[in-house]
A and B are shown apart, each in its own frame.
Chain A
Amino acid sequence: MSDRFKAIHMKEQPAEERKKNFLEVPCGYTEEEAVLEANRCLQCKNAPCIEGCPVSIDIRSFIGHIQKREFDKAVNKIYEADILPCVTGRVCPQESQCQAKCVLNNKGDAVSIGSLERYVADRDLERRREALKGEPVKISGKTKVAVIGSGPAGIACAADLGKYGYDVTIFEAFHKAGGVLVYGIPEFRLPKDIVDVEIRSLVQTGVKLVTNVLTGRSFTIDELMAEGYKAVFVGSGAGLPQFMKLPGENLNNVYSANEFLTRVNLMKAHRYPEYDTPVKYGKNCAVIGGGNVALDVARTALRLGSENVYLIYRRTQEEMPARLEEVRHALEEGIQLLALTNPVAYHGDEAGFLQKIECVKMELGEPDESGRRRPVLVEGSNFFIEADVCVVSIGSTPNPLIAMTSPLIETTKWGTIKVDEKGMTTMPGVFAGGDIVTGAATVITAMGAGRTAAASMHEYLQNKKD
């Protein structure tokens, strides 16, 4: 008998095993598990979970379909709002979104909406892989539109524009499409063959994909417009990695999270020397930060072979912005959390390689603007951590290239692109969404912004015709 108030958790690879491989940690539901978990859902009339979803997936209906074992109907219900459920089922912070609103929280565990989403989406993968064997659709639309960036925002925007009947081209700067899904999120959280299916499915629908072009250098937005693109969506992502301007930060083996993860996820450094790109992980690897990216880095280092992986975070575990599941997984795997700790300097050997990190202890003071208690330095608490590799994972600032080369596009003081409520920038016909507008956020919000912009672009182009 199942307990209505106790969630059924997906089976997971044991920590001792998984920390030595790059395979996914949760193994997914069986059909019986999915139906049992779905049956815990009360099908609330007002469905508060939907309010918690940034793209308003009709959660109640899709779970209702699972209760009746109507799995195709369930996944199609999700597709109405979210074209990447395989991805979002895995990477959304459900505990602070849909699941946070579940009424079962009052008595026990929320319905595992994310796991159910993943179950029906994965179930549909076989059909989608089969469909990829067919001929790609030829788009009949004559109006050309451009999408810059092939991450979650760009994929969602391009997919909708294709459905509206436009001749859509995605321009991607890397040699492989997918944006953060490819270079950022590790294999053990999001298998790359799933991303591959998503991209190939999009191309199958007739969307054109051009890789290796950096907008702002290969061409400007003005040039795109001059070449006949009637509207442009900019979804170029968060961009420049932040550093802390500390002494010794440019020593060898001090990385940004973006570089470390790109070397592994995009360039496959974990399969060096089969792949040519190396990465240093060290005997003792320190990671600075407390978000999902920091945890991705820490767990990647562990899997590469670091003996000790330290997560240096200036607040406490409670304030860590990462998904709860990732924090739990990381701690189970043996990541050593050094909370209330902040780096102040890096020290290296004579050849310029990192040897140790000078840190200070912090304590929590008064709450700041974010409502979290502000970490305050404990004077004279300096100490050293032996580390031969350090990865700084404290976020990124927007890449200025597109705004720099498009004088009509205005930016905010934080460097993000200004848009109106419809997602249009200050340059007519140019829309933007995702991290380039909001600063670093989540896959689902970027996807939502891409869809909003696609609808606005359609409206804009229709009005223009009249």
Chain B
Amino acid sequence: MMYKIIEKYSLAPQIEYARIKAPMISKNAEPGQFLIVVACEKSERIPLTIADFDREEESVSIVFQKMGKGTHKIADFKAGDSFHAVLGPQGNPTEIEGEKHIVMIGGGIGVAPVYPIARKFHENGVHVTSIIGYRGKDFLFWDDKLKAVSDEMIITTNDGSVGHKGFVTDVLKQMIEDKKPIDRVIAIGPPIMMKAVADVTRPHGIATTVSLNSLMVCGMGMCGACRVTVGGETKFTCMDGPEFDAHKVDFEELMQRLGMYKSEEKDMLDEYQGEDNE
């Protein structure tokens, strides 16, 4: 089986887009699910949330940040190159649970998986407010796509170069203060942002869902690398998630576990970039 890249480009500094021909995956893919990709024979298995899919074109899209060797390698792929393996769709899709007003929050790379979920709610007549945060105006991507499927959209940047200066949580707090109707918040982004969102909504009892980016190996429930504590119980992100009740997630543990291979990740990246320069 080939997993050929049919389109590939950079969206923003360190942020890349790839569309992959994968008929067996696109057929059943739903917003909220993820893929496991293996760049080359000797590469790691990397979990990436599905950023989009097209059943007619039989393709799935990923958006990823260049972090370690694996993602740098994929970033160096060009249209026409193939992945060694792509498994998916994995994880539970996002379900609409009778909401009338949904708030979608995306932070940085998290804007990508937010997009198909927002679209699903929008297509089903739910009022969608999107709050998306970036580091600065150079880092913007997919704000236009997201705007097309949102009833309202607010951009925040750390430096104020575009939209509101500050964090997504500032806007969320204001919405709550203004007594805007919110049936559920779905937040995807760096763990620290998802934790901050959970802390904002918790005292108000607003249902909040986060999509976790745990370390993963198998992606099919047999290894437990992705385990996370939710409501005092150990859950597997690949099987039970990736979406969980934000108010019950142990974010400290999640962040701790994400740091497990920090030194290996750095060594491998140095080595990979060293090779590049030779």
Provide the B38-74 mask, 1 if CB < 8 A to any CB of A, else 0.
1000111100000000000000000000000110000
Q: Is the CB of A336 closer than 8 A to any CB of chain B?
A: no
Would you call A239 an interface residue if the criterion is a C-beta within 8 Å of the partner chain's C-beta atoms? Answer: yes
A-B contact pairs, 28 of them (CB 8 A): A175-B38, A175-B85, A210-B1, A211-B85, A212-B1, A212-B85, A213-B24, A214-B220, A217-B33, A218-B28, A218-B87, A219-B28, A240-B222, A243-B224, A250-B257, A258-B222, A258-B223, A258-B224, A262-B218, A267-B217, A272-B264, A276-B44, A351-B256, A351-B259, A352-B259, A396-B222, A399-B221, A399-B239
Encode contact with B along A207-249: 1 for CB under 8 Å, 0 otherwise.
0001111100111000000000000000001011101010001
Partner of A259, one of B33, B84, B85, B225: B225
- B45: which A residues are within 8 A, CB to CB? 175, 267, 277
- Given the interface contacts A214-B90, A218-B89, A243-B234, does A256 sit within 8 Å of B42 by beta carbon? no
A268 CA / B25 CA spacing, docked (Å)? 27
| B8 is an interface residue with CB less than 8 A from chain A | no
Chain A CB count within 10 A is highest, among B217, B256, B261, B271, for: B217
> Is B227 positioned at the interface, with any CB of A under 8 Å from its CB?
yes
- Fill in one digit per residue for A341-374: 1 if any B CB lies within 8 Å of its CB, else 0: 0000000000111000000000000000000000
Q: Does A401 belong to the interface (CB within 8 Å)?
A: yes
In B71-99, which residues have CB < 8 Å from any A CB?
Answer: 84-91
Option from B222, B228, B259, B267 in Cβ contact (under 8 Å) with A252: B259
Bound together, the chains give a CA A353 to CA B261 distance in angstroms of: 11
B42 partner, pick from A173, A245, A276, A278, beta carbons under 8 A = A276
Q: Is the CB of A274 within 8 A of B220?
A: no
One of B70, B227, B268 near A273 (C-beta < 8 A): B268
B209-226 CB mask vs A (1 if < 8 Å, else 0) is 000000001111111110
| Chain A, interface residues (CB within 8 Å), range | 35 or more
Give the 5 A-B residue pairs with the shortest CB-CB distance, closest first: A352-B256, A175-B85, A259-B223, A278-B264, A256-B224
20 further A-B pairs in the complex, CB-CB below 8 A; given A262-B223, A399-B222: A211-B1, A212-B1, A217-B88, A219-B24, A240-B239, A241-B224, A250-B228, A252-B257, A252-B260, A256-B223, A258-B222, A259-B217, A259-B224, A267-B44, A276-B42, A278-B261, A278-B264, A280-B260, A401-B220, A401-B239
**A216 (CB) vs chain B CBs: closest residue:** B220
Q: Are B44 and A173 in contact (CB under 8 A)?
A: no
Q: Is A174 a contact of B218 with CB atoms below 8 Å? A: yes
Minimum C-beta distance from B254 to chain A (A): 10
Q: Which residues of B contact A274 (CB under 8 A)?
A: 42
Query: B261 — nearest CB in chain A belongs to which residue?
Result: A278
Tell whether, in the assembled complex, residue A173 and residue B87 are in contact, meaning their CB atoms are under 8 Å apart.
yes
Give 1 or 0 for each of B161-184: 1 = CB within 8 Å of chain A CB.
000000000000000000000000
Q: Are A352 and B257 in contact (CB under 8 A)?
A: yes
Q: Of B86, B229, B239, which is within 8 A of A250 by CB?
A: B229
A253 at the binding interface (Cβ < 8 Å): yes
Instruction: Check: B199 CB closer than 8 A to any chain A CB.
Output: no
Contacts of B267 in A (CB 8 A): 273
Residues of A contacting B234 in the complex (Cβ-Cβ under 8 angstroms)? 243, 245, 249-250
List residues of chain B with CB within 8 A of the CB of A239: 221-222
A interface, over-half SS? loop
Asked if A275 is at the interface (CB within 8 A of a chain B CB), the reply is yes
B251 neighbours in A (Cβ, 8 Å): none
Contacting residues, chain B, for A259 (C-beta < 8 A): 217-218, 223-225
Complex Cα–Cα for A268 and B44 (A)? 10
Q: How large is the interface on B (under 10, 10 to 19, 20 to 34, 35 or more residues)?
A: 35 or more
Note all chain B residues with C-beta closer than 8 A to A192. Answer: none
B134 located at the interface, meaning its Cβ lies under 8 Å from any Cβ of chain A in the complex: no
- Of B42, B222, B228, chain A has the most CB atoms within 10 Å of the CB of B222
**Contact indicator A273/B271 (Cβ below 8 Å):** yes
Q: 1/0 contact trace for B8-44 toward A, CB 8 Å?
A: 0000000000000000110110000100001000111
Contacts of B1 on A, CB cut-off 8 Å? 210-212
Give Cα distance in the complex from A245 to B234, angstroms.
Answer: 8
- Residue pair A241, B253 in contact (C-beta under 8 Å): no
Nearest B residue to A219 via CB reads B28
Asked if B268 contacts A218 (CB within 8 A), the reply is no
Of all chain B residues, which has the CB nearest A180? B222
Residue of A nearest to B233 (CB): A245
Most chain A CB atoms below 10 A, which of B90, B218, B259:
B218
Q: How far is the CA of A140 from the CA of B120 in the complex (A)?
A: 45
Cβ of A4 < 8 Å from any Cβ of B?
no
Instruction: Determine if A263 is an interface residue (Cβ-Cβ < 8 Å).
Output: yes
Contacts of A211 in B (CB 8 A): 1, 85
B236 close to chain A: CB less than 8 A: yes
Give A262 to B70 CA distance when docked, in angstroms: 18
Residues of B within 8 A of A396 (CB): 222
A329 to B256, CA, bound (A): 37
Which residues of the partner chain B approach A255 to less than 8 Å between Cβ atoms? Answer: 224-225
B87 and A214: CB pair below 8 A?
A: yes
Report the Cα distance A398→B242, complex, angstroms. Answer: 20
- Cβ-defined partner of A212 (8 Å) among B44, B87, B239, B260: B87
In this complex, what residue of B is CB-closest to A259? B223
| Known A351-B256, A352-B257; contact A217-B28, beta-carbon cutoff 8 A | yes
User: Are the C-beta atoms of B221 and A218 separated by less than 8 Å?
Assistant: no
Given known pairs A273-B267, A273-B268, A401-B239, the reply for A217 and B89 (CB within 8 Å) is yes
Is A241's CB under 8 angstroms from B222's CB?
yes
Q: Which of B237-259 contact A (CB under 8 A)?
A: 239, 253, 256-257, 259
A218, B24: Cβ atoms closer than 8 Å: yes
Asked if residues A241 and B256 are in contact (CB atoms below 8 Å), the reply is no
Check if B86 sits within 8 Å of A212, measured CB to CB.
Answer: yes
Q: How far is the CA of A273 from the CA of B42 in the complex (A)?
A: 10
Instruction: Give complex CA distance A381, B225 in Å.
Output: 31
Provide the bound-state CA to CA distance between A345 and B20, in Å. 45
In the complex, what distance in Å separates the CA atom of A210 from the CA atom of B224? 24
Partner of B256, one of A175, A252, A262, A276: A252
Give the complex CA separation of A319 and B54 in angstroms.
56
Q: A214-B87, A273-B268, A276-B43 are in contact. Are A253 and B28 (CB under 8 A)?
A: no
CB distance from A152 to the nearest CB of B (A): 16
Q: How far is the CA of A401 from the CA of B89 in the complex (A)?
A: 13
Of B33, B42, B220, B261, which is within 8 A of A275 by CB?
A: B42
In the bound assembly, the distance between CA atoms of A55 and B43 in angstroms comes to 39
Residues in B with CB closer than 8 Å to A353 are: 260
Q: Which residue of A lies closest to B27 (CB)?
A: A219
Complex CA gap A400/B232 in Å reads: 21
Instruction: Return the chain A residue nearest B258 by Cβ.
Output: A252
**Distance (whole angstroms) from the CB of B210 to the closest CB of chain A:** 18
Q: Which residues of B contact A278 (CB under 8 A)?
A: 261, 264, 268
List residues of chain B with CB within 8 A of the CB of A218.
24-25, 28, 87-89
